[in-house]
Structure 1
Amino acid sequence: MNPRIDIHLSKLKHNTKIITDLCKEKGIEVAAVTKGFSGISEIAQAYVDGGARYLADSRIENLKKLKDISIEKIMLRLPMTSQVEETVAYADISLNSELETIVALNNAAEKLGKIHKIIIMVDLGDLREGFFDEVELEDALLKMKKLQNIKVIGVGTNLTCYGGVIPDETNLGKLVEYGEKIEKVLDTKLEIISGGNSSSFHLLEQDRIPKKINNLRLGETLLLGREAAYGELIENTHHDVFQLVAEIIEIKDKPSHPIGTIGRDAFWNIPVFEDKGIMKRAILAVGRQDTAGASIEPVDKNIDVLGASSDHLIIDITHCDREYKVGDEIRFNVGYGAMLALITSEYIHKNMID
């Protein structure tokens, strides 16, 4: 069925084992992030089979899909107060930075007869979520000590995702200091010092990650075999776990430059074209509605992607060795953004391959 995304489960299990083994050598456990594939349980099971310690997602809807997998679940996005009961019901652990929300989680946990575990998020400069003011943090911690159904088990941070700040020994060293402060205020020993996401993996490879960091929240690294700070591929991992397959619906020889006055396209951009003369152009039955215009790379290196509208992807097949015809399939490797969009699109068939 086309268009589709082929998902190679054995390759994902392999990636997970390679990477979790590397992490374990450094005393680090992996929270495997499932949001990149919308929490599909068959894919998440490959994580578990590969050695992941936790499953983690930003959306309750995805955590619900994972409820029958017997491994601890982490809610990555700060919980909405309107979803505290669901958070407690479907997540064993949640990341938090607002006292009001933590109190609401405590009340929901009391109602459900549970103890809900939380990781306190601190902002080290990327300016997304997390306590930024140390006085505010200490004041909040003192109030948390009075909550009977909340257990603070860790401290964490997020880097790169918003501000692009690269993790290093300095900012992750500061995270360790925050952890020591939290332990002192709460008179407890933290179980988790979570040193960020796939952008922190390069520090582990270079043996530069602070020794007290014992958790990483990894998605892209496992799914695409790539660290996220510099985009470097990880040795002995698969980079084609997810592949887009789209079908040719037209092949014509046409000019490479549009004819007429050029205005804005369907996405309100003014396109720019290079005149390369007549070329053999193919149209595929997939578009920006499915890929969000994010990175896709043809497996056939002689194909150039020219552009896309909502429902059509236009490629140049002029220099291909293969004589493509209407109905043929074109295969693409995908970046994280394209993978996320393709999995989310209801128009893309999800094809699981063992």
Structure 2
Amino acid sequence: MYPLLEINLSKLKQNIDALQKKCSEWMLEPVAVTKGFCADYKITDLLFDAGIRSFADSNLSNLLKLIDRFGNKAQYQLIRLPMKEEIEAIIENQIIPMVSQLEILNLFSEKAKQLHAQPSVILAIETGDGREGFLPEEVLENIKQIASLDHIAIIGIGTSLACLSGVLPQISTLEQLCSLRNQLKPIFHNPHLFVSVGGTTFFSLWEDYNHTPKVDQIRCGEAFLFGSDMSRKRNLSWLQQGAFHIEAEIVEIKSKKPDSSNRGFDAFGRVCEISCEKNYPRKRALVAIGLQDIDDTQLFFKDRNVTIVGATSNYLVLDCEESRHDFRIGDLVRFQAGYGTVLRAFLSPYIQKRYIE
């Protein structure tokens, strides 16, 4: 049945093994981020069997799914800031949250006291991306209040970059985090307070520099899934690409000329642009897959003479006027899939999964 997402488990295993080796050389603990594939057991089993014992996800439901699978044989981090209603479940399941608000730290401490527990917490630190995290000076200004929360254990500090604003990490980023860690260790009475960084964009600092400040963890998903670093539009030479492909069926082929008069916006409220450089009518193929299943900017077709015109909720539209291939109704088209497409495909109930060993 189509459309389908093909997952090459052999390539993923090669990437996981290579990642383990590199992290060992760089004295980093890899934390596998599973949100991009909804913590699918076929992939998480590969990670676990390879020796990965730390998992991270932005969805509590995925972490609970992993706990059902691996129990206390692994550690689990919630890397999306917790909602108030999740606090009790996080404590009861010994999940390690990243927290950036004093109010939430207080709620964790209060609930932990009620449950006779002492949950571990990572302080999220803002280092330039403009997303989640305490400002470093904010932590120091409120340090007495944080340290007074007896019912939680601050075990580390963590940051993320190149997620929202495309800010790239620098050596100074690590130096700032390590300096903050050293200031916090005696205050929290924790000589093992760790620094955790995310995501794949941080690997460049170990690739490019011989003496990198001592960081303990790197949280990543893109590296072992795609062998790439989107923040720099590059492939990682020590990893494999092409572990995920989308296949879908052509359901219409016709030459079309879109009407350029009296135009508004598309079904998603986007501005529609029609190239004036192309001669119309042009041969278009409609593929039975759409934005509810994939991200049309994260599909890569081998035939460079075929371009993606756009997508609606249920159709992907291809311009195949210049292609030498004689596309026909019922033909399957195959694309290498990037992060956005894989994420949506795992979420979509309309996409079949095919695993290649």
Give TM-score scaled by structure 1 length. 0.91
Contact map agreement 2:155 2:194 (CA 8 A) in 1:
yes
**Pairwise CA distance, 1:20:** 2.3
1:166 corresponds to which residue?
168
Alignment match of 1:156 (pick from 155, 158, 161): 158
Q: Which amino acid aligns with 2:339?
A: Y
5 Å-filtered alignment, 1:193-204, equals 193-204=195-206
**Pairwise CA distance, 1:292:** 4.2
Supply the distance in 2 between the matched residues of 1:44 and 1:267 (Cα, whole angstroms).
34
Supply the distance in 1 between the matched residues of 2:41 and 2:320 (Cα, whole angstroms).
37
Q: Which amino acid aligns with 1:9?
A: L
What secondary structure is seen at the aligned counterpart in 2 of 1:165? coil
Q: Which amino acid aligns with 2:270?
A: N
| Aligned-pair Cα RMSD in Å | 2.2
2:101 corresponds to which residue?
98
Does residue 138 of structure 1 match 2:140? yes
Q: Which amino acid aligns with 1:211?
A: P
1:233 corresponds to which residue?
235
Supply the distance in 1 between the matched residues of 2:102 and 2:261 (Cα, whole angstroms).
59
Q: Which amino acid aligns with 1:31?
A: V
The structure-2 alpha-carbon separation of the partners of 1:208 and 1:75, relative to structure 1 and needing over 3 Å to count, comes to farther
Residues 263-316 of structure 1, C-alpha deviations (whole Å, 9 max, x = no match) = 322222332222333433211001122224432111333322111122111112
Name which of structure 1's ranges 302-311 and 259-268 shifts more when overlaid on structure 2: 259-268
**Pairwise CA distance, 1:259:** 5.9
Q: Which amino acid aligns with 2:198?
A: G
1:54 corresponds to which residue?
54
**Pairwise CA distance, 1:74:** 0.8
Does residue 38 of structure 1 match 2:38? yes
Q: Which amino acid aligns with 1:240?
A: G
Name which of structure 1's ranges 290-299 and 219-228 shifts more when overlaid on structure 2: 290-299
**Pairwise CA distance, 1:91:** 4.8
Residues 157-178 of structure 1, C-alpha deviations (whole Å, 9 max, x = no match) = 1212122211001122101111
Supply the distance in 2 between the matched residues of 1:159 and 1:27 (Cα, whole angstroms).
21
Supply the distance in 1 between the matched residues of 2:116 and 2:222 (Cα, whole angstroms).
35
1:213 corresponds to which residue?
215
2:11 corresponds to which residue?
11
Supply the distance in 2 between the matched residues of 1:196 and 1:269 (Cα, whole angstroms).
32
Supply the distance in 2 between the matched residues of 1:198 and 1:30 (Cα, whole angstroms).
10
Name which of structure 1's ranges 64-73 and 98-107 shifts more when overlaid on structure 2: 98-107
Alignment match of 1:118 (pick from 115, 118, 121): 121
2:272 corresponds to which residue?
271
Does residue 348 of structure 1 match 2:351? yes
2:247 corresponds to which residue?
245
Supply the distance in 1 between the matched residues of 2:93 and 2:213 (Cα, whole angstroms).
31
Residues 108-146 of structure 1, C-alpha deviations (whole Å, 9 max, x = no match) = 444445432111111122221111152x41354433434
1:73 corresponds to which residue?
76
**Pairwise CA distance, 1:77:** 1.0
Supply the distance in 2 between the matched residues of 1:296 and 1:258 (Cα, whole angstroms).
26
What secondary structure is seen at the aligned counterpart in 2 of 1:290? coil
Structure 1 unaligned blocks of 5 or more: none
What secondary structure is seen at the aligned counterpart in 1 of 2:12? helix
Contact map agreement 1:203 1:209 (CA 8 A) in 2:
no
The structure-2 alpha-carbon separation of the partners of 1:250 and 1:209, relative to structure 1 and needing over 3 Å to count, comes to farther
Give TM-score scaled by structure 2 length. 0.91
Name which of structure 1's ranges 230-239 and 298-307 shifts more when overlaid on structure 2: 298-307
Q: Which amino acid aligns with 1:170?
A: S
2:191 corresponds to which residue?
189
**Pairwise CA distance, 1:60:** 0.5
% same residue: 32
Alignment match of 2:310 (pick from 282, 307, 310): 307
Does residue 337 of structure 1 match 2:345? no
Supply the distance in 1 between the matched residues of 2:312 and 2:39 (Cα, whole angstroms).
28
The structure-2 alpha-carbon separation of the partners of 1:349 and 1:89, relative to structure 1 and needing over 3 Å to count, comes to farther
The structure-2 alpha-carbon separation of the partners of 1:26 and 1:351, relative to structure 1 and needing over 3 Å to count, comes to same
